[in-house]
Chains A and B, each alone.
Chain A
């Protein structure tokens, strides 16, 4: 593979807009994504033969039309089914060709990482059971296949994405039995008024809330899911309201969601060679509209850098989006600790290796003052295949509850190193550009 001027990782709004901007400036771009088509999670396109459903408010659909026209117009083409495994100590990017199970190394002058966000999901007893998935996971499946999961669905957690999913499930013909929301936005009229400063957010709020109401989906606020159990081939979900009222739901599926965070796990960063910058939700989770602008900004920084010109100023629009996201976060802020300190001992914390809250408590009792790094190395938390993406924040929050260490960040547990995603050793030793190593053993 020829070394490009710039490697762009990711084909969501930030990656598309960065790749197109670089190509339009005449730079050679290697643009990769783990999937075979551009779009990212937000603009996941239906597979060829499935029924397309026009999801989402006009602002989202218009963005896709704009991005699609943009990359088609510049002629930049996506190298799909290619994973980014990281950058070694010599500044060489390691890419995995997922289709052939081979790797290749490229040396780029600059790298733009636009790998998006991951969902936050709080640990709850039973959240590892079959039939439990993330709201985003259910949403991308719905976008790809055009059909909803069969059977009764419950959506639970925190934040506006749960309402978006409920709306889309209803449009696909299987509205959820309820949406359980940990916060109570109706009790925060001052924050709701602040929302009015963003016409786009008001439009999206109206789009989703009217559809949820029209489909008669109960939106139960101030509710937490405290247990999920297997029950007669289905799931029995127990929820508790702020006043202690307990309600159970029998469903085939539950979608959980407690916000999103940048997917920064293990990501390299640096201003030396190669010049590495992050763009979009993996830099700061501000949503798709901001990501499009941020991708373009990242590309302009790279272009200026390669030409030895002064760096462009940050785009003012990002500040407005940051304020809008802060307002949403205040509106949807749940009461109490995000990760409850009183979780039962048998609650799974690390989904990859089945490590429990009790395992963490035992470790902390035996080794008071243990560092986050030791919690990983000795306790195997954030050690599994997902590399901490679904437990590091939760483990960090519980370490803070322990009260001995002060603030704990997920990074202190996970560290930074490559590969940033699991990659087979067989793939790692098979170089796609070397004819002698490209046949499977």
Chain B
């Protein structure tokens, strides 16, 4: 199966079908990975990221191939 990928702060992050941005980022990176993952249910807003120009909670947003995701607006 071809592995799907998105960009996170300039790095290529592979993800599995149905996985959230947070799940893929945490699996790929070091323990914090620059993502403020905290509550996991979209309530605390700590893991809000920019995804293709929109602010979304990484823990409740499905990863999509080719998405450009970063911790800041640039």
Q: Which residues of A contact B (CB under 8 A)?
A: 34-37, 41, 47-50, 81, 98, 101, 116, 118-119, 130-134, 136-141, 144-145, 147, 149-151, 252-253, 263, 351-352, 384-386, 389-390, 421-422, 424, 426-427, 440
Contact = CB atoms under 8 A, between A and B. Distances in A.
A136 B23 contact: no
Contact of A150 (B19, B31, B44): B31
Contacts, number: 108
Interface in B45-74: 45-46, 48, 53-56, 59-62
Interface residues of B, number: 33
The 7 closest A-B pairs by CB, nearest first: A130-B32, A137-B40, A47-B18, A385-B45, A49-B16, A140-B40, A48-B17
Contacts of B60: 34-35, 98
11 contacts: A41-B41, A47-B16, A47-B18, A134-B44, A137-B37, A137-B38, A137-B41, A145-B19, A145-B26, A386-B46, A422-B55
B38 A424 contact: no
Interface residue SS majority, chain A: loop
Interface of B: 1, 16-20, 22-23, 26-27, 31-32, 34, 36-46, 48, 53-56, 59-62
A134 B32 contact: no
A136 B17 contact: no
B50 to A, nearest CB: 11
Contact of A41 (B32, B37, B40): B40
Contacts of A422: 45, 48, 55
Contact of B31 (A36, A253, A389, A440): A253
Contacts of B1: 49
A265 to B, nearest CB: 8
B39 A134 contact: yes
Given A136-B40, A389-B43, A389-B44, 18 more contacts: A47-B16, A47-B20, A81-B62, A101-B54, A118-B41, A118-B43, A131-B31, A133-B37, A137-B39, A141-B26, A141-B40, A144-B19, A145-B23, A145-B26, A149-B31, A253-B31, A385-B48, A422-B55
Contacts of B41: 41, 116, 118, 136-137, 140
A134 B53 CA distance: 28
B43 A141 contact: no
A48 B44 CA distance: 26
Contacts of B26: 141, 145, 149
A252 B40 contact: no
Contacts of B27: 145, 147
A162 to B, nearest CB: 15
Contacts of A440: 53
B38 A133 contact: yes
A141 B20 CA distance: 9
A118 B55 CA distance: 22
Contacts of B20: 47, 144
Nearest to A83: B42
A34 B23 CA distance: 16
Contact of A49 (B17, B34, B36, B45): B17
B45 A133 contact: no
A47 B59 CA distance: 13
